Amino acid sequence: MPESTAALAVAGGAPALSDLPPFPSWPQGTVEEENGLLAVLRSGKWGSAQGDVVASFEGEFAEYQGSRHAVAAANGTVALVVALRALGVGLGDEVIVPSYTFFATAAAPLFVGALPVFVDIDPRTHLMDPVAVRSAITDRTKAIIPVHIAGNIADMDALLQLKQEFGIPIIEDAAQAAGAYYKGGPVGAIGDIGTFSFQSSKNIASGEGGILVTNDDALSDAIYSMVNVGRVRGGGWYEHRALGYNLRLSEFQGAVLRAQLRRHPEQQELRAANAARLRAGLIDCAGIELPPENPDVTAHGHHLFMMRFPELGRAGLRDAAVRALQAEGVPGVFPGYVALHQNEALLAESASIAVRLGLSVPEAACPMTELVCADTIWLGQHVLLGTENQINGVIQALRKVAGAVEELRAIAAE
Ligand SMILES: Cc1ncc(COP(=O)(O)O)c(C=O)c1O
């Protein structure tokens, strides 16, 4: 496809996506969700301690992710906290996390009094770099949390090798990777525990919600207890054997999630087809770098479509490009994360814990994270539910903006 020389919409040109119907919105509720919600309403069993809707969903999700157990929890953030506690991670321990991820991945260790140790990413994939993980391991390291960012999958073989060598458990933060497959099998229970989020933007959504998966019976019992006020499966209501929270989902959320899960495979097919279309339309575009295709990722989670714009990033024009894409009519455009190893709230909490325990805050150098934080742009997953014409319009808009460095520079200087 030739580069477009048309004027940017942000500078008064015609938008690349004019005359097209609006993109599908997200989250989507259908008559299936409605029927499920009404059935719960009328049953009088609104809590998962009374009804069986969340329990059914847990069984269905475990099957979907190929794990022996699944325990639903209030959200993906507390799912990570529960995973750490179930593995016995606590005061003064170190947990290795990537610096390029959502805040919760790094906050979770702090919630249990442990210190996040930030490692860098591979700038081509935005995924945790296993070489950096190896050099961050100390005798205080008690867990590693790879994040399957965007629905792409961390290098699990290399991380499992580290687990075997050092005996450090792995929690897969699969918040963005429902339905993703690594070497032919689903993510989540490749490591010791996997966590997922069902927050509104996720590909399976119930407004808020989360779940933990594991193949380990003892870990599953510990997780159940942590989510259910320290109770044991089959035990008494006032039989609190551990320090647990109440993190149960309601049956209303369970009803929505069962319907969402049923539609997920079909929606993923559409997302995958549109991601391939976008890829084909952008692969030769000067100014845009796409993550390389990885044969080990046998199904991508397609939560975000990630791109890097190195030239725009170097010129400090990434945010101007985001505004330009929005003006072209592209929905769901985000500049992406900020580097967490520089986040003041996380650093202050780390320092506060470290001082009280007479420890020092682990040093973090993550130059690749800083690089991609300046030049990355994502498209949200609902864009991948668009029509062929809409996706073609997005390609046109992206090519137009990627090729307009000088125009963007002039606009930014105004
Ligand atoms: C990578 C990652 N980890 C953790 C979370 C936390 O999930 P939640 O928002 O459900 O607490 C999210 C999503 O929001 C996420 O994207």
Report DSSP letters for 328-388, one per residue. Answer: TT--SEE--PPPGGG-HHHHHHHHHHHHHHT--PPP---HHHHHHHHHEEEEEGGGGGS-H
Strands 376-380 and 69-73: unpaired
CA–centroid distance for 122 within its chain: 16
What pLDDT was estimated at residue 233?
94
Q: Residue 376 in contact with residue 308, Cβ under 8 Å?
A: yes
How many secondary structure helices (H) and strands (E) does the chain include? 14, 15
Among 111, 153, 197, 340, which residue has the most ligand 1 atoms within 8 Å of its CB, making it the best to mutate?
197
Contacts with 22 (C-beta within 8 Å, 6 or more apart), sequence order: 331
Q: Which two tokens stand for residue 362?
A: 């682990």
The DSSP code for 393 is H
Residue nearest to atom 5 of ligand 1 (CA): 76
- What pLDDT is attached to residue 363? 86
What is the C-alpha to C-alpha distance for residues 34 and 264, in angstroms, rounded to an integer? 17
Band the pLDDT of 1: cuts 50, 70, 90.
low
pLDDT at 53: 98
Nearest in space to 287 (alpha carbons), one of 254, 312, 317, 319: 312
What is the average pLDDT across 311-335?
96
pLDDT tens-digit series, residues 109-138: 999 999 999 999 999 999 999 999 999 999
pLDDT, tens digit, for every residue of 130-146? Answer: 999 999 999 999 999 99
Residue 2: pLDDT above 60? Answer: no
CB 108 within 8 A of CB 84: yes
Count of CA atoms in the C-beta half-sphere (13 A) of 94:
18
Q: How far is the CA of 173 from the centre of ligand 1 (A)?
A: 8
Contact 373, 337 (CB under 8 A): yes
Instruction: Say which residues have a Cβ less than 8 Å from residue 158's Cβ, sequence separation at least 6.
Output: 130
pLDDT of residue 3: 56
Atom 7 in ligand 1: which residue has the minimum CA distance?
A: 76
pLDDT tens digits, one per residue of 207-241: 999 999 999 999 999 999 999 999 999 999 999 99
pLDDT of residue 5: 63
How does residue 147 score in pLDDT terms, banded at 50, 70 and 90? very high
338 φ, ψ to 5°? -105, 155
For residue 79, the CA-to-ligand 1 centroid distance in Å is: 9
What is the band of 19 on the pLDDT scale with cuts at 50, 70, 90? confident
Task: Report d(CA 258, CA 204) in Å as an integer.
Answer: 9
In the chain, the amino acid numbered 382 is: H
pLDDT of residue 310: 97
What gap in Å lies between CA 85 and CA 39, rounded to an integer? 35
Alpha carbon distance 161, 159 (integer Å): 5
Ligand 1 atom at shortest distance from the alpha carbon of 78: 11
Q: How far is the CA of 80 from the centre of ligand 1 (A)?
A: 9
Q: Where are the alpha helices (DSSP H) in 245-309?
A: 251-282
CA of 194 to the centre of ligand 1 (A): 12
pLDDT digits (tens, 9 = 90+) for 267-306: 999 999 999 999 999 999 999 999 999 999 999 999 999 9
Instruction: Output helix, strand, coil percentages for the chain, rounded to the nearest 5.
Output: 45, 15, 40
Q: What letter represents residue 59's amino acid?
A: G
Across the strands, what pairs with 152?
Answer: 150
Beta bridge partners of 305: 379
Q: What is the mean pLDDT of residues 333-351?
A: 97
100 CA distance to ligand 1 centroid (A)?
13
As a whole-number percent, the residues of the chain with pLDDT over 90 amount to 97
Contacts of 63 (CB under 8 A, 6+ apart): none
> Given a cut of 90, is residue 29 above it in pLDDT?
yes
Model confidence at 206: pLDDT above 80: yes
Q: 357-375: per-residue pLDDT in tens?
A: 999 998 899 999 999 999 9
Query: Is pLDDT of 246 > 70?
Result: yes
User: Best of 128, 149, 199, 304 to mutate for ligand 1, by most ligand atoms within 8 A of CB?
Assistant: 199
Give the helix/strand (H/E) hosting 59: helix 53-64
Pocket around ligand 1 at a 6 A CB cut-off: 75-77, 101-102, 104-105, 147, 173, 175-176, 197, 199, 210
Instruction: Report how far ligand 1's centroid is from the alpha carbon of 219 (Å).
Output: 21
The rounded distance, in Å, linking the Cα atoms of 389 and 180 is 26
> How far apart, in whole angstroms, are the C-alpha atoms of residue 383 and residue 334?
12
- Tokens representing 61? 């999700």
Cis peptide, bond prior to residue 27, ω within 30 of zero = yes
Distance (angstroms) between ligand 1 centre and the Cα of 76 equals 5
What local confidence, expressed as pLDDT, does residue 4 receive? 60
Closest atom of ligand 1 to CA, residue 77: 11
The rounded mean pLDDT for the chain is 97
Closest approach atom of ligand 1 to CA 101 = 1
